[in-house]
Amino acid sequence: MDVIPGAREVAGCRVCGATDWQEVLSLGLVPLANRFLDPASSHGDEPYFPLRVLSCRACRLMSLDHVVDPEILYRDYLYITPESETIRRHMRNVVDLFCERFGPEAGDLVVEMGSNIGGQLRLFAGKGMRVVGVDPARNLADVAEANGIPTVPEFFSVDTAAAVRDSHGAAKLLLGRHVFAHIDDLAGVLDGAERLLVPDGVFAVEVPYVLDMLATTAFDTIYHEHLSYFSVGTLSVLAERHRMRIVDVARSSVHGGSVLVFMARRGSKWRSTAAVERLRGLEHDFGLYGDRVYRRFAEDVMRVCEELPRIVRGIATEGGTVAGYGAPAKGNTILNVCGLGRDVVAFCSDTTPLKQGKLLPGTHVPVCSPQEARLRGPDHYLLLAWNYAEEILRKESGFLAGGGRFILPIPRPVLVDSAEEAVEALQSAVQL
């Protein structure tokens, strides 16, 4: 077996310990999705890692087969939660859901792991709660602190949990939005939750929902940061193994389809809602507990990987110009796996200042600001940030009115010229 510097191969399942893996999909050697490059430096040593997905036949965790060292991935991080109405609305919903269901009081402590620059915590603080962020990205923790959100620049662990508890007391809520799928040592995090929470405290995680990923062929959710692809069934196994229980779930369309899962200690006062059983039933009916659905996913992915380059190259051959809309991590999976480089994608437009002026990993497509993109005037945008399709297509009504078109890569590559058409295409594949 080859040893890959900076990564280790997974042996047993991080949820249940079993070693009976179904091989689902191999996307080849792929660079790190958020390792954008400085055009002035040489790129000869750009690291590539295997991107392969397995499914545990015992608990049906979908997992990458290699874990890249988190110190490489997260200490200096350039993903900043975008200024997006979609995200803002979702964050407000998360606060409302928690408050309505679990009735916290002013002064209760909310701790968030992977708190980024503190946008979600600011909303909890607005409801009178005390807040503490935990995020290993030192550059982002500094910004959060400057924004008035106390942030520990560390990975969440038993030690971090103990330190937070010592200085701030026990927490009513420990939240991890789109960070739990990134964590290898799940047992360490659950032990940390146990250490940190009050007896009736709640541990809430939001993850990309594997049911949506499979149903919409969203293979771009797969990159080295996402080690796990969870169902509610798999998370129940994890919770049970740590003396916890899932007490509520809420699906949303954010990030292409996510599920927010609330866990509490087995002996706590919280009872499970019917929604938990309903989702587990849906997962069962969808076939998540057998091999076949994963084989079909792999076939669907291969189909997208044939169709998308055909469409993009067809436009280029006819003299059109294609640019990427957004430079999300997921977009780098699409471009690298589909072999779409700067010969056919002229540039990518992204609102994140940290990404502008850089090159995309692997393909080296340059990233520019939306203002510059408008001046360059492509006739087609490949919508890499397709999870914001409705918001983006509404915002770009001028581009569309001028005859411009968006290529929606997921769930099937298709050209769209209105927000309604994009939403319809996306919803056609979603399981209710």
Q: Which of 108, 135, 184, 225 binds ligand DWN (CB under 6 A)?
A: 225
Q: Which of 351, 327, 358 is nearest to 83 (CA)?
A: 351
For position 210 contacting Zn ion by CB under 5 A, the verdict is: no
For position 326 contacting ligand DWN by CB under 6 A, the verdict is: yes
For position 139 contacting ligand DWN by CB under 6 A, the verdict is: no
Kindly state the smallest distance separating residue 13's Cβ from ligand DWN, in Å: 21
Kindly state the smallest distance separating residue 135's Cβ from ligand DWN, in Å: 12
Kindly state the smallest distance separating residue 327's Cβ from ligand DWN, in Å: 5
Phi, psi of 246, deg, nearest 5: -80, 125
For position 352 contacting ligand DWN by CB under 6 A, the verdict is: yes
Output 32 or 59, the one with its CB closest to Zn ion. Answer: 59
Residue 304 to residue 32: CA distance in whole angstroms: 21
For position 84 contacting ligand DWN by CB under 6 A, the verdict is: yes
Residue environment code for 358-375, b if the CB has 16+ CB neighbours within 10 A, otherwise e:
bbbbbbebbbbbeeebee
Residue 148 to residue 198: CA distance in whole angstroms: 25
Residue 160 to residue 135: CA distance in whole angstroms: 11
Kindly state the smallest distance separating residue 228's Cβ from ligand DWN, in Å: 12
For position 79 contacting ligand DWN by CB under 6 A, the verdict is: yes
Query: Pick from Zn ion, ligand DWN, none: which does 392 bind, CB < 5 to 8 A by kind?
Result: ligand DWN
Strands 21-31 and 48-56: antiparallel
Q: Is 299 helix (H, G, I), strand (E, B) or coil?
A: helix
CB atoms within 10 A of CB 286: 16
Output 16 or 423, the one with its CB closest to Zn ion. Answer: 16
Query: Pick from ligand DWN, Zn ion, none: which does 79 bind, CB < 5 to 8 A by kind?
Result: ligand DWN
Cα–Cα separations (whole angstroms), residue 164 to 183, 205, 230, 241, 403: 19, 19, 28, 24, 54
Stretch that binds ligand DWN, among 153-161, 298-306, 328-336, 406-414 (CB under 6 A): 328-336
Contact footprint for ligand DWN (CB under 6 A) = 79, 82, 84, 178, 225, 255, 326-330, 350-352, 355, 385, 387-388, 391-392
